[in-house]
Structure 1
């Protein structure tokens, strides 16, 4: 085989390179430490990258605490605003995730307290609405149970509701919840005990919730 034929054969066997296209290699993700430094220097791309990285977590935590909520997008926006205006308080990169989780939890906590205050104002101004009759409808499945669960959680104090949601819905550990809420693990355990008692008492009066809970040991502290 001649030299020219060998080259031709090699070209035939090798995959053809695409024509008219440019391959770009995506830059490696910046570390939290680099993002903190960038934000401190006024780098808007660093701020955007931080929200891209932790935005889903913020939305998840607020949703887990409040359930399906028409104001979810506004609350997430409020949390983002707090993050961007106060991130300078975080000195260590390892603390970024926990601090942002705390912002999300506190945003939901404020929303609960604000709504509860508004409901009391309406109560005294207009009088209590008549209580609905107990439902005799058959269980409608997990979606209806979830809706009823959040209705029961509406009756809990804000501190207990946040602890309950983070523990039993988001499945966080007690120590992590304590860090987010800036209290001791013992305090979180007390809140969980009170929240569970209140929740189970409310669930006993709801056939759908009662049946859902009796299916398994959902609220046992793990």
Structure 2
């Protein structure tokens, strides 16, 4: 976990009741909340409900967060849990409120969606744990469209001949992240 002084400062000021710090936290991490909601297939009112629940939980627990620098991880985990709860609620409402829709509920597809979403969240978390140079290199290599090696070399200072081996080392680090190891292990069982 990296200690981000600005996050630590914002959390501590928000704990002390600084509305400006709270607004800055929301502004800074709202895109994370919305991105995770989108990964779970939530938008509109469902995503707004999740976001409201997450911010409410943060208000309730802001004083108990021991490591302020861990706030982004705490938020990502909380959003994930709230998205799963929202999906379960949506499914229950469909099952109870729309009997005509019972024929269209595909339990395996729903479970597959949840597994896929969990995998996406794990990959994003593992990517965030990579060193900065790996994140930058992989972002350039796997962008749409991919950046040519000559441009990558000039923007990162990595010799063209070292880009491939560096990419391999970065991907090996990504694959060995505990979050991905756990997801991969769960898929094999």
TM range, smaller chain: 0.5 to 0.7
Q: Which of the residues 175, 184, 188 maps onto 2:183?
A: 188
Q: Distance in 1 between matches of 2:108 and 2:64?
A: 32
> Which blocks of at least 5 consecutive residues in structure 1 are unaligned?
1-29, 132-150, 177-182, 195-222
Measured on the aligned residues, the alpha-carbon RMSD in Å equals: 3.6
Q: Which of the residues 104, 112, 118 maps onto 1:163?
A: 118
CA shift, 1:63, in A, is 1.0
Report the 3-state secondary structure (helix = DSSP H, G, I; strand = E; otherwise coil) of the residue aligned with 2:61.
Answer: helix
CA shift, 1:184, in A, is 6.6
State yes or no: 1:173 paired with 2:126.
yes
| Residue correspondences, number | 137
Please list the CA deviations of residues 14-54 of structure 1 after superposition, one character each: whole Å capped at 9, or x if unmatched. xxxxxxxxxxxxxxxx7111112112211111111111111
User: Structure 1 residues 152, 174: CA separation in 2 closer, same or farther (over 3 Å shift)?
Assistant: farther
**Contact 1:54 1:97 survives alignment (8 Å):** yes
> Which blocks of at least 5 consecutive residues in structure 2 are unaligned?
130-177
Q: Distance in 1 between matches of 2:128 and 2:122?
A: 10
More helix by share: 2
Q: Which of the residues 76, 99, 114 maps onto 2:89?
A: 114
State yes or no: 1:85 paired with 2:40.
no
**Contact 2:37 2:43 survives alignment (8 Å):** no
Q: Distance in 1 between matches of 2:72 and 2:101?
A: 42
User: Structure 1 residues 68, 43: CA separation in 2 closer, same or farther (over 3 Å shift)?
Assistant: closer
Q: Distance in 1 between matches of 2:64 and 2:109?
A: 32
**Contact 2:39 2:117 survives alignment (8 Å):** no
TM-score normalised by structure 1 residue count:
0.49
User: Structure 1 residues 191, 87: CA separation in 2 closer, same or farther (over 3 Å shift)?
Assistant: farther
